[in-house]
Structure 1
Amino acid sequence: MSETRTRPKRATIFDVAAEAGVSRGTVSRVLNGEPYVSQSAREAIEAAIDKVGYVRNTAARNLATQTSGAVALIVHEPHAVFVEDPNIGAILLGTNTALSDADYQLVSLIIDSDRDTDRVVSYLGGGFVDGAIVVSAREDDPITAALERLHIPTVLVGRPETAPELPSVSIDNRTAARDITERLVSTGRRRIGMIAAALDRDSGRDRLAGFRDALGDAFDDALVVEVPLYSFHSGQEGMRQLLRRAPDLDGIFAASDAIAAGAVDVLKEAGKRIPNDVGVVGFDDSAWALRCQPALSTVRQPAGALGARAAELVLDEIRRGERQRGVVLLPTEVVWRDSA
């Protein structure tokens, strides 16, 4: 025999007023933090709220104020990369901390397909968020175009050239890539290749440009393999391609630590000693860097601070109603370990 369950009746402000023996207006003033309520009435109302189980109707409040109290973190990466990449997790936590301090809710939205794009664009148009932070925005990204069209306060983590009107928080990927490649060259390596990733966005293109800057006339386009994602499996595939092209390679710059870890795995399978035969450097200083054996030389980027700063900028725009254009660049540093 089946049992029909009904949702319990939600306590209202009228229930609180009746229990406390005060007017609805007095309860409303307490809920809104307004003055001119006696201490005894305030205590009676707080006790009544606990007794009747009153929970403020956020949806009704948002409807009245035309705000949601939420900011979207939109991550334009496949599900596997979202789970695998420690930088995304650090950005998310940094964002959440800054939003939480401001009493805003974080809403995570992941773009893994065209269907996800359509769904997220529709969601954004429904007024469910007051602002948005976009991670890994591509060139001509329909998400950023929709955010601009909807006039939703938006900050990018990264700086795609096709969205110059939107403020962004980033690092100087080109200079950082140049610095670590020059350090690798200084160890005496002469046949240095690169596993380049994510060339459909600024970070990937700038890291390749920095690698080219460091090598100058010694740059060899045949020693660059392009892979789609900042992932371990992309690193494995890229390293296999490079070894087929140039088995005498003695140095590798991987566009991320996850890629470098995949490259190290393949090099060891091929009997290459690290760093004796091949020096390997990465980018991010994520958890992948310390999982590698030997530990990975890399570029440290402040992923958590990127998320926190992006949240501060979007909150500022929400409050002021004014967009601050431009790029905020956070510092990086080369961290040198035993892999090179």
Structure 2
Amino acid sequence: MPKPSPPKRATVHDVAAAAGVSRGTVNRVLNGGYVSATARTAIEAAIAKVGYVPNTAARNLVRRRSQAIGFLAMEPHSLLLEDPNIGAIMLGANEVLSVADHQMVSLVVDSYRDTERVGRYLRGGFVDGAIIVSARAHDPITRLITQLRLPATFVGHPPDLHHSIPFVGIDNVGSARTITQRLLQTGRRRIGMIAAALDRDSGADRLTGFRQALGDRFDPSLVAEVPLYDYSNGVKGMRVLLDREPLLDGVFAASDAVAAGALEVLREAGRTVPGDVGIVGFDNSSWAMRTQPPLSTVHQPAREIGQNAAELVLNQVRGTEPAARSILLDTSVVWRDSA
């Protein structure tokens, strides 16, 4: 018995015939052009009647557009799942892209193989632009995006930032300086820092702000360098600091997740917080409220960062904004019981 033929897909010609208008008039409606209200009503009714579904893929091929924006997270897979800030940035970006009828494509770059794979994907024209999170200096993906002249926006700004690519971020130096000064005002005198991610702008800038706040009291031996903004690195960094200075009475952790790991080590060591040691974090993420005591921290507007990054990319895709425009968003100190 022969297989039944698949149902015939409705075409623009079918819509035009049902509405009693020309194919050109139907195409103007589909492409956002002007037609009379009467014609538009008739065409919309005909689309519903014949079950017409626009062939977006074919239309995008003609336009040389994918209607997709890549969200490139230059982080290990484990950190991508653990870091609530990246999730908030992603959600903020997706809100704006969804309203603009663009799809967000998540691309995680965690290895050399990922770099090669994502590079091929970008060269293939599968996205119209990119939002780049946690780029490091001299990153090959950044160089490729520049070579392709792909509309893009950095979240933060790597040290070798190409001025043709805008960025959205915060003043990490000023924010770190402010919360360290607030910690100093509680009477702490031996303050250390767990400095994470010094290979990117946010980590290096937060260390700079910490150093500026301490001035002549800055002691490089009281800086524990760790590679990532995560809980396990907070544990490692805090153990290093206690080994170097058992009488430490203050800690600036480069992120809330790092601070949460540090708190666990302080508890194990029998050090009370904030009695013996005052500790502050950075981000005002969900980590800040899950710790005991709740963390004093810097509020980073992660969702708004994502929203602005998406707007900057879309403006470049549409050709409505200069490519060099960048945005710094405000932060604030949120003071809780940990210090």
1:335–1:47 CA distance, 2 compared to 1 (3 A): same
Tell me by how many angstroms 1:104 deviates.
Answer: 2.5
1:274–1:100 CA distance, 2 compared to 1 (3 A): same
Aligned partners of 1:169 and 1:327 also within 8 Å:
yes
SS in structure 2 of the partner of residue 299 of structure 1:
strand
Q: Distance in 2 between matches of 1:295 and 1:248?
A: 23
2:145 maps to 147
1:247–1:14 CA distance, 2 compared to 1 (3 A): same
Aligned partners of 2:155 and 2:168 also within 8 Å:
yes
**1:271-290 matched pairs, under 5 angstroms:** 271-290=270-289
Aligned partners of 2:29 and 2:35 also within 8 Å:
no
Aligned partners of 1:30 and 1:37 also within 8 Å:
no
**1:1-340 matched pairs, under 5 angstroms:** 10-20=9-19, 22-36=21-35, 39=38, 42-165=40-163, 166-320=165-319, 323-325=322-324, 327-340=326-339
Q: Distance in 2 between matches of 1:8 and 1:298?
A: 60
Aligned partners of 1:121 and 1:146 also within 8 Å:
yes
1:275–1:94 CA distance, 2 compared to 1 (3 A): same
Aligned partners of 2:196 and 2:225 also within 8 Å:
yes
1:7–1:207 CA distance, 2 compared to 1 (3 A): farther
Q: What is the CA deviation profile of residues 88-122 of structure 1, one whole-angstrom value per residue up to 9, with x for unaligned ones?
A: 11111221222223332222211111111111111
Tell me by how many angstroms 1:17 deviates.
Answer: 3.9
Q: What is the CA deviation profile of residues 146-178 of structure 1, one whole-angstrom value per residue up to 9, with x for unaligned ones?
A: 111001111111111212322111111111111
Tell me by how many angstroms 1:186 deviates.
Answer: 1.3
Tell me by how many angstroms 1:321 deviates.
Answer: 6.5
Q: Distance in 1 between matches of 2:126 and 2:98?
A: 17
Q: Distance in 1 between matches of 2:87 and 2:8?
A: 39
Q: Distance in 1 between matches of 2:252 and 2:314?
A: 37
1:223–1:313 CA distance, 2 compared to 1 (3 A): same
Per the normalisation by structure 1, the TM-score is 0.92
Aligned partners of 1:133 and 1:157 also within 8 Å:
yes
1:283–1:5 CA distance, 2 compared to 1 (3 A): farther
SS in structure 2 of the partner of residue 140 of structure 1:
coil
Q: Distance in 2 between matches of 1:267 and 1:313?
A: 43
* Unaligned 5+ runs, structure 1: none
Identical counterparts, % of pairs: 62
AA aligned opposite 2:262: A
Q: Distance in 2 between matches of 1:252 and 1:321?
A: 45
Aligned partners of 1:29 and 1:37 also within 8 Å:
no
Per the normalisation by structure 2, the TM-score is 0.92
1:334–1:33 CA distance, 2 compared to 1 (3 A): closer
Tell me by how many angstroms 1:233 deviates.
Answer: 1.1
Q: Distance in 1 between matches of 2:240 and 2:209?
A: 22
Tell me by how many angstroms 1:138 deviates.
Answer: 0.5
AA aligned opposite 1:297: S
Tell me by how many angstroms 1:19 deviates.
Answer: 4.9
SS in structure 1 of the partner of residue 176 of structure 2:
helix
1:21–1:164 CA distance, 2 compared to 1 (3 A): closer
Q: Bigger CA drift: 208-217 or 24-33? A: 24-33
